[in-house]
Structure 1
Amino acid sequence: MKNIVITGTSRGIGFELAQQFANQGHQVLALSRSTQPLAKISHSNITTIAVDLSEEKDIKKALDFVATEWKKVDILINNAGKLVNKPFEKLTKQDFEAVYKVNVFAVAELTKNLLPFMQKGSHVVTVSSMGGIQGSMKFPGLAAYSSAKGAVITLSELLAEEYKEQHIAFNVLALGAVQTEMLEEAFPGYVAPLSAKEMANYIFDFALTGNKYYNGKVLQVSSSTP
């Protein structure tokens, strides 16, 4: 049984992941702005905390739980994301800040604060996007989102090097299009090749075993373009 922290669990991939881990007997701390979807399930292995990841005081709520109840974290999955789809000339500084607060700064802040609870063999998995990969097809309107997803790739590579002596692994999954609510909101009518549940199946296995094979790596998880 492992202690697993997952962000962005109110819907999509995070919602499916929380249930998969809990159903396999793992303890899950599910962090999202809305706790209602998982609260309805009322799984004994899932603890939900309402967290706005862009607020440091909210992140502290998660840390207090870990320090009091768990004392250790085996897996952190940075899954939460914010997407703004606008032409570059219409993107405001506030748009960039809102996207980076969730997709970059919150990843760094939560990871930094949970590291003291991680031991040899712990695994930090950050969900990025094919849009953040050099040389992949870029889509107009995603300047803030894709550049943020590129930033967490570099961050994870650096952390893998910095913490390799502690044997804590950091890996990134750069996902292609997945049929989630976020995708539908940004690109109405677009049909992705994979469902949220199918992608969650892959991430579930990778989070548990990927650190045996990879550290500081970016895996492109995409059967299509994007």
Structure 2
Amino acid sequence: MRNFFTFCLFVFSAFIYGQTSDAAPANYKVIDYLTYPYKYLDKDFKIKISDKTFQESVVKNQFIASRVIGKKYTDSLSVVLMAEFGNWEQSRLAQFKISYGWERVGAHLLISAEDAKNLGKRYEQVYPYKMSVFLRDEKNHDAYLKTLFQNLRKELFLLTGDKKVDNLSISKLMDEANRKSPDRIKLYLATQFEKEHGRKPKDSEIGKSCGRNDCCQTRTPD
């Protein structure tokens, strides 16, 4: 009986999902979402959607209104992209690439967002996501970038003390730097503190556990 109930629930959920989301086109993974001619975003990815269309997307795609209306840009962007594409696969992929910022590129290199942006200008990369892809391909590495990554290995080793850093591929080196980035971790913990306590933390409070098992300062970013 339980198995039958579970099956019925699955079928019902699939039906509901099918009513609110179209299938993504076969080529959706290879579309360039950073130069895509959006109806509801301008060339700088600023939202240009009518309130009526936005509200319709909230209802049709079963967003929780209190979590997306009047909230941060990324929440509104989710609604807008679903109005644009009508399917979750494209919407999530487009949002990931649009929202990929210079802060994230910097975390992959253990440098500031401003330095990452300047590095992008040096190699004529306008979009942070594309800069990350560019850096991961060693064929693009000139003498400057080779030195940059040599220094990154040294810095990451000093940060972690892990000898495996010497043998990581460029892509895995960037991912490990992102995981261990002190600036990224500090920002994450500050965000967790503000969510938990309703105020911005003092520098002395960041990373300091209050002793509770679920202390916001003992959490780790993805």
Structure with higher Rg: it is 2
Shorter-chain TM band = under 0.3
TM-score for the superposition, normalised by structure 2:
0.25
Q: Which structure shows the bigger proportion of residues in helix conformation?
A: 2
TM-score for the superposition, normalised by structure 1:
0.25
